[in-house]
Amino acid sequence: MTETLERPLTTGTVELRTDRGWLPVCDSAWLIPGRGVAVLLPDGGQAALFLDRAGRPYAIGNRDPFTGAYVLSRGLTGSADGRPYVASPLLKQRFDLATGACLDDAAVSVPVYETRLAAEATEAAAA
């Protein structure tokens, strides 16, 4: 049996904002909603990149602050009160993809990276 995956209608290069400006990281067609990928940053750090079912990209730090392991890109995604999150694959703490806040411990958070699709940025600049 063949299964067809629904792909987001919006395509383009996903970019993360770093201290050096916008960094192209991958084509959105390579991302599967609900599944994360790890991105190596120019400073040697890592980000976990996700795409939701509406085609919106999110990026947070890939390091799980509870264990120190770089694994958040492998976590399970979901939503709580309409907010997208990823649950660490190790100890299952949940991190809000928009804010980086830990939903299970208010004293803990992970970095958040602003994201955009390059095609959207180009169209907006031309308008």
Which pLDDT value is given to residue 10?
A: 57
Per-residue model confidence as pLDDT tens digits over 71-86:
999 999 999 998 999 9
∠ at Cα 113 (109, 115), nearest 5°?
A: 140
More confident residue, 47 or 4: 47
Residue 126 in this model has a pLDDT that exceeds 70 = no
- Contact partners, residue 36, CB within 8 Å, separation at least 6: 48, 49, 50, 72, 73, 74, 75, 77, 86
Least Cα distance to 47 among 72, 19, 28, 27 occurs for 72
Per-residue model confidence as pLDDT tens digits over 42-70:
999 999 999 988 889 999 999 999 999 99
Hey, CA dihedral for 93, 98, 99, 103, is it positive or negative? Answer: negative
